[in-house]
Structure 1
């Protein structure tokens, strides 16, 4: 009797649980049915591998809907159209774009809505009452796949350069460099004392240079004063030189004019001198002879005058007055 009673209780509990689950399912279905959605078509250029009906739709990381249908675009078979249901009132703008995103490491794909600004207008419905269309931007995986050929080419070029760099000749040259460095290190180790002395001399020279620099700094006022005096004298010398050059220029002009005049005079005297050389030379010689005679007579008269001026003036031996 007790066994039958326990079975009855279990049956009642199972029946009530089933009715409760059915009621909860009906309520949940009614809630989803009553909730309003806006439909949008997302156009993909590449593959949508991993995307399926029921996949999540996120807007800036916030779940706003799901994928309701996926099919090849009949107008352009190179594209894939994914119809999404987005909660009514979600601000989908004309500058809003979509992107295929992979969630975690499971490979499950979702659609991520990106962009959209407050100043942009709401997206317009499509033709013939079709849902508005959103263009999908290339996903990170698509960008990586598109850049793979260039990446492979760059990798191949890098491998070729590394091969050239690690050629036998370069390795031998690098080995030679290492051997030379080892020899240089050994030489420096052997001549450490001389190197230390050289460093001390360099330090001493630096000290002397510092002292010389200090002395030169101390002499700078005198040097500046001397330079100022030289500058002043240079200015005076420059003025004097300028004046001298001006006077020299005037003198040069005067000499040039004198030479021009002498040349003209000589040109005018050229013919008379020729006539004089031909006809007047004899008369000139006679004149010279007579002038010599005249000079001799004058010399004699002068001598007599100096010797006896009175006799020269009165003449003869005149006697003075003799009183009686």
Structure 2
């Protein structure tokens, strides 16, 4: 009985020690977990080579590991990768996550980079927390890496290569090959014809060069002629135009003076026309009458002498024959 009691006691002590060790391990894990931060990364591409426990590096420096990989149930096209990193890692706004292969082993890691100096850390805001942090932890945006970009663009590249191959096949069909052969043959004929006409072409080029040179000389002469014409206009025509302008200005001044003189003489001319001209006409009339009277006196003196002016005129002799007849009773 005593031996069995000892065994029970020893077993109880061992169980108690194991329980204490387990509690210590859990406490230590929680203690270590308190110095780490968790982030979610949503990849819209394959995460080949990334497994639970895969390393997480920040600019090539190991800072944590992958804790969980699962499909995002609300949108299965995304793969959710939860990572844990040391609390002192500067996961700031601008930081992005990519999948980077490690050598040629097929193993990949999560690469973080792109943190902006002075930017705030990536956290879950109080506003729109459910949309920004759907699973309660901050989300690091993704960026396609070199291999991921190559793999994502591979289907488009293959499609373009297929299209290019089909077009090359159509281009190199029998009909097009015959056409290309005809074009090459015509090209050869044209080359031979040009080779045969080489001297003529050279002569034509020489004549063209001479014509261009003559045209250049003609253009230079035209330029010189234009310069001479400008000088003639400046030296000869311009002075003549200045003299003509002076003459026009003098004539205008004379016309202005004449207009002023006519304006000043207009009242005297009006008086002369209204008063002096009638008086002159009367004077001329009186002079004409006086001239006629004097002419009559001169003629009388000439015929009858000077006494005709002083004495009475003589009576004519009586002639009975010329006497007037008496009227009958």
TM-score (norm. length: structure 2) = 0.49
Choose 1 or 2 for highest CA Rg: 2
